[in-house]
Amino acid sequence: MTSSPPLSIASFPAWARLNDVDFTNAELRETEGKGIGLVAARDLKTTTTTTAHPTEETTSDANGKGDDLSTGDGKDGERARTETAIGGQHEGKGIDHDPVQLLRIPHDLVLSAAAIEEYTKVDQNFRQLLDVAGHQSTRKDILLYLLTHLILSAKGPSGSRGPASTPWTEYLKFLPRHVPVPTMWSEVERALLQGTSLEETATIQDWILIDALYRSRCLELPRAGDAMVPGLDMANHSHDPTAYYEEDDKDDIVLLLRPGVEVTGGEEVSISYGEKSPAEMLFSYGFIDRDSAAHELTLPLEALPDDPLGKAKLHIFKAPPTLKLSRSDGGLSWHSLFAYLMCLNEEDGLEFRVLQGKDGERELKLFWHDQDVTARADDFEVLIEQHPLCQVFRLRVVAVLLEVVSTQLTHLPSEISHDQLDPLRRAGLVREECIRAAETLWEVEASVLESAAEVLEQQRTHLFADVHVVDYLGSMEVSESGQAPGASTNEEGDFS
């Protein structure tokens, strides 16, 4: 059903006019190496005016009328606008930038949680589907909507018994039937991800397609939240973007030229998808931005296998237990809220109790030294600070995380064997772009993991030398061996 080719982009202007999408200063074209993208329709640049601002700050909308604008291009977009418009004000004068509008999409076309709710009021078929399979998350509800209209667009009008057609029914016909994200790679191509943080992600065809379309085209709007915006989702990513998007006072979505930017006619207009890790870029968008400084990866954590409180810890923590590794400016840092809870035991002062709540239901509660800390299950890095064994707890965390990182490193192959891939490449079973993406991800993650192992090893060595840790280990040796306090050995045990 999803194998039919998409409509030619040459037909898109007719759809845009019918649905009041205004390509003010932009148009769709094939771009080099990126497929369809937005390009400037003519030479454009933002204009500046110097005005007196004794006590006030003003910003103008896309048409210079002073309407309220809510930035949707992340924090970078907000900075691009405010730093130039407000930061340049001094001595009673300010430099205002009149944004150049590139594209405007009516609010009615934005596919968001609110749009899904409105659609259920006019289509009882979809409402029944949502009641059975939806209402779990905005993402899943939008996927069900897309799946419904993908099938409807392939079958054509279905009469009064089928789902009600919307502009999205036709818009889906323009979207690609293959998105280069790993969930749409072949089994052979997914094998290239062995050992990376994406190894466990993958695979059924209509659902896989709409999932890929959603992930690769979803935007976070300030007021509408997670949403898909037809037309705007044609804009490609750049590490040095030339445009940003906003919601105006009518809740329409506008694409604006960034302050201080000039583009020539035919030049591609790009936005920023944000600073994301290579794994997240590949998983969501199907490519890795080599110019990005975000060298990160996130590894899943599991409760320790011999921990009798392991399941209770996972239940009370709520969020996914992960370890995030980040490297920037040559330095590496790690972040893991679950690791601190993970490494504490009953003898340390951790306790779980099942108590009766206000509604009469029995609830699992978490206590730390007889204090109810259920709401702070992700805050044990702070909760342990005043404990006499704080450094011992930190050593446990570092030792466990070092083991996690070392294990992940052993899963990575030493290199991707091109000798083994050549026959598969010639047979058309694996594509060159998948090999390049997998190699890039492997190189970045291997480098980050190696740096993390080195940093964690240094931290472990430093903590082993801490006086509180030395005293604790000495007392443990005495209690286990029955030796006199002064007769402890100098051997460093396996503390993990």
Q: What is the pLDDT of residues 276-296, one digit of tens each?
A: 777 777 777 777 777 776 788
Contact 44, 257 (CB under 8 A): yes
Mean pLDDT calculated for residue range 235-256: 86
Query: What is the span of the domain harbouring residue 317?
Result: 295-487
Q: What's the CA gap between 113 and 136, in Å, rounded? A: 12
Residues 29 and 172 in one domain: yes
Q: Which residue, 440, 443, 432, is CA-closest to 180?
A: 432
**Domain total for the chain?**
2
Residues 461 and 392 in one domain: yes
Q: What is the pLDDT of residue 71?
A: 46
Q: What's the CA gap between 292 and 271, in Å, rounded? A: 14
CATH code of the domain in which 268 resides: 3.90.1410.10
End position of a domain, from candidates 213, 243, 274: 274
Residues 337 and 426 in one domain: yes
Q: What's the CA gap between 39 and 317, in Å, rounded? A: 46
Residues 256 and 347 in one domain: no
Residues 310 and 375 in one domain: yes
Q: Which two tokens stand for residue 417?
A: 């064997």
For residue 412, being part of any structural domain is answered with yes
For residue 37, being part of any structural domain is answered with yes
Residues 35 and 152 in one domain: yes
Residues 230 and 340 in one domain: no
Given a cut of 80, whether residue 209 has pLDDT beyond it is no
Q: What is the pLDDT of residue 169?
A: 87
CB atoms within 10 A of CB 38: 26
pTM of the model: 0.58
Q: What is the pLDDT of residue 3?
A: 54
Residues 327 and 368 in one domain: yes
- pLDDT band (50, 70, 90) for residue 199: low
Residues 266 and 335 in one domain: no
Residues 264 and 317 in one domain: no
Mean pLDDT calculated for residue range 473-481: 74
Residues 310 and 188 in one domain: no
Q: Which residue, 118, 234, 105, is CA-closest to 166?
A: 118
Contact 460, 398 (CB under 8 A): yes
